[in-house]
Amino acid sequence: MSQVVVVGAGVIGLSCALTLSEGGYKVKVVAANFPTDPLSSKYTSSWAGAHYRPFPSLTDKDYEDAMLTRVTYDYFKKLSVEEPESTVKWVQGVDFVEEKGIYGVNSRGYYEGIDDMKIVPREQYPPGVAFGASYTTWVLNSPLYIQYLMRKLTFKYGVTFTRAELISLKQISQAYPGHIIVNATGMGLQWDGGYDGDCFPIRGQTLLVRVPQDCLYLNKTVTHQSKDGLWTFVIPRPHHGGVILGGTKQLDDYQSTPKEEDTNALIERAKILYPELFIEGQLDIRNVNVGFRSARNGGLKVELEKYPGNVSVVHAYGAGGMGYELSYGAAKKVEEIVKGIWPKSKL
């Protein structure tokens, strides 16, 4: 029996469960939190203002990850047509950058495989902007997307979901002997317990806002990267999900409740950059989101490791703020690795 147990039910874990199910494997998911639970700071995938932004690659690893995001990009093209209930929708994406830096025509891995990618004419730049690019990109409603994945896994593929608070991967190998383990625990749960020392959380606070019914940001995502290192972005959430206004990237900050100063700073930036979000001079804030991106020095880790008893663990964690962008691509890579261990003959 070719059985796989996926540990973790964030967007990476569920995507791995999906590619493996599609590949004919019998899959179980074990996790502490599920997409259908009430919102919790322990579970990151529900908070994401998920959209796709290409980035210039500085290293080979960057480039490799960029190509994984393209696998997701291509998959979402199919999904938005075949399964609109996934909430995936295509809109115009715009990036404005105040420090041009690595951005430009020769940037490696920036233009490849992205539809309608072009440099915005300089006369259309807002004040202070040194570089702008426009492209066709997907957005999705993150809490609905992961619930959709869970339903599809349940009812199409018969995947089972078991809740467990784990302290080590060893526990899993004991509870599921003979299974391949996919370690999609975000921060990298270790064999003997604890988390990957290269992993660290990056706090993000965003606002979920109601906008005027004719607001251009219901059909457009714009990211503004300031000289002082701040990122400000608007991302529509399809299926009447409002608009995400973000955000913060806070290292060594573990506060899971919203901070008023962050909210106020976001409102101030929005007044200048995105005045179209306001209704009668006010932002109609419907939720203040706080999530922790599970980042890793060196970026996403997707690789096979062997543990005592010849247990195969395929790691898939540390996606940081790129969980949705990497999700299907990383999961296809996980499936390839699993096939290398256990080629599955077609049923």
Nearer to a copy of itself by Cβ, of 37 and 99: the residue is 37
Pair 183, 189: CB distance under 8 Å:
yes
Does residue 321 have a known ligand-binding role? Answer: yes
Nearer to a copy of itself by Cβ, of 151 and 271: the residue is 151
Nearer to a copy of itself by Cβ, of 151 and 227: the residue is 151
Give the nearest distance from C-beta 277 to a copy of itself in angstroms. 12
Give the nearest distance from C-beta 240 to a copy of itself in angstroms. 4
Nearer to a copy of itself by Cβ, of 42 and 100: the residue is 42
Give the nearest distance from C-beta 152 to a copy of itself in angstroms. 4
Give the whole-angstrom CA distance, residue 98 versus residue 126.
10
Give the nearest distance from C-beta 231 to a copy of itself in angstroms. 24
Pair 242, 211: CB distance under 8 Å:
yes
Does residue 294 have a known ligand-binding role? Answer: no
Give the nearest distance from C-beta 144 to a copy of itself in angstroms. 8
Give the nearest distance from C-beta 252 to a copy of itself in angstroms. 32
What is the 3-state secondary structure of the chain? CCEEEEECCCHHHHHHHHHHHHCCCEEEEEECCCCCCCCCCCCCCCCCCCECCCCCCCCHHHHHHHHHHHHHHHHHHHHHHHCHHHCCEEEEEEEEECCCCCCCCCCCCCCCCCCCCEECCHHHCCCCCCEEEEEEEEECCHHHHHHHHHHHHHHCCCCEEEECCCCCHHHHHHHCCCCEEEECCCCCECCCCCECCCEEEEEEEEEEEECCCCCHHHCEEEEEECCCCCEEEEEECCCCCCEEEECCCEECCCCCCCCHHHHHHHHHHHHHHCHHHCECCECEEEEEEEEEEEEECCCCEEEEEEECCCEEEEEEECCECCHHHHHHHHHHHHHHHHHHHCCCCCC
Nearer to a copy of itself by Cβ, of 39 and 58: the residue is 39
Give the whole-angstrom CA distance, residue 234 versus residue 208.
10
Does residue 223 have a known ligand-binding role? Answer: no
Give the whole-angstrom CA distance, residue 123 versus residue 131.
11
Give the nearest distance from C-beta 291 to a copy of itself in angstroms. 17
Give the nearest distance from C-beta 243 to a copy of itself in angstroms. 8
Nearer to a copy of itself by Cβ, of 199 and 277: the residue is 277
Residues interacting with a copy of itself, by CB under 8 A? Answer: 37-38, 84-85, 87, 148, 151-152, 154-156, 158, 210-211, 213, 238-242, 279, 284, 286
Type of residue at 224: H
User: Biggest alpha carbon distance in the chain?
Assistant: 65
Does residue 44 have a known ligand-binding role? Answer: yes
Give the whole-angstrom CA distance, residue 317 versus residue 338.
16
Nearer to a copy of itself by Cβ, of 157 and 307: the residue is 157
Nearer to a copy of itself by Cβ, of 159 and 322: the residue is 159
Type of residue at 138: W
Annotated binding site: 44-45, 185, 293, 321
Annotated binding site for D-dopa: 293, 321
Annotated binding site for FAD: 44-45, 185
